[in-house]
Amino acid sequence: MNYRLKLMYDGTRYAGWQRQQNAQTIQGELERALSVITREAVSTIGVSRTDAGVHATSYTANVHLENPIDSYKLFRGANALLPADIRLIEAKPCDESFNARFDAVQKTYLYRIDTTPHGNVFYRNYAWHVPQALDLEKMQKAADCFLGSHDFSGFMAQGGSSKTFTRTIMDSSFTEEDGLLTYRITGNGFLYNMVRIIAGTLVWVGKGKIAPEDMPAIILSKDRTRAGMTAPAHGLTLLRAEYADEN
């Protein structure tokens, strides 16, 4: 039986999603909990390999189990066994063919930037602290340039597994509240470190290091050295993934 799982996690203490031999990871913790409950060796599939320090408010995964188990038992059991910074939000049986990684049709990430001079203690693990005035109007103008379909080779770190580099972005927008900038980006897929490189580039735009007018040429150049720095992982949160069957 195939189960679709939704998780929420604070990535601060973890070396990312993916199972590792010698480090604590979200997938490792989840599989350990599920193994205890089901008494099976389980292998989960996650929507994305989030980096160390990256968070998720709704992360989709799936797991095939030999022996069917009541969804509510799975939910209660997992939350009793998982550490407090990882929660199972939902568990339900799904089509055998469902694959959390390959069936995702779009994903939305948030990147948070704390521009207060002192730094907000409640966002110290969830936002990049950039203690200076950023030109939000220019940042939004530059953010608009990512909308639509582009080859994002210039906004990709080495080490990813992607074979194609064109992605379509449907939302790329900022909101601001009490000095906290929240950048929201929705796309049909993302290259390795793409959101963090885009966020770092937009902060450079806000600082005046890159002009928003130059963004289209920077994207077209496919040259990583023309984009900005990779923004730190802890500012990034996977908000959610969408699947065709949910529409």
Q: Which are the catalytic amino acids?
A: 51
Q: Give the nearer residue to its own copies in terms of CB position, either 7 or 181.
A: 7
- Residue 12 dihedral angles phi and psi, to the nearest 5°: -50, -45
Token pair in block for residue 194: 């793409």
Closest separation in Å from C-beta 126 to its own copies: 7
- Is residue 85 involved in binding its own copies (CB under 8 A)? yes
Q: Give the nearer residue to its own copies in terms of CB position, either 87 or 141.
A: 87
- Is residue 176 involved in binding its own copies (CB under 8 A)? no
Stretch that binds its own copies, among 27-35, 105-113, 120-128, 205-213 (CB under 8 A): 120-128
The residues, ordered by sequence, that sit 6+ positions from 130 with a Cβ below 8 Å of its Cβ are 113, 114, 115, 203, 206
- Is residue 119 involved in binding its own copies (CB under 8 A)? yes
Selected binder of its own copies within 49, 64, 87, 207 (CB under 8 A): 87
Q: Give the nearer residue to its own copies in terms of CB position, either 63 or 88.
A: 88
Handedness of CA 231, 234, 236, 242 (dihedral sign): positive
Q: Give the nearer residue to its own copies in terms of CB position, either 75 or 165.
A: 75
Q: Is 179 helix (H, G, I), strand (E, B) or coil?
A: coil
Q: Which residues does residue 60 pair with via DSSP β-bridges, in sequence order?
A: 6
How many angstroms separate the CA atoms of 43 and 32, rounded? 10
CB–CB of 9/59 below 8 Å? yes
- For its own copies, the binding residues (CB under 8 A) are 8-10, 55, 57, 75, 79, 84-89, 116-122, 124, 126
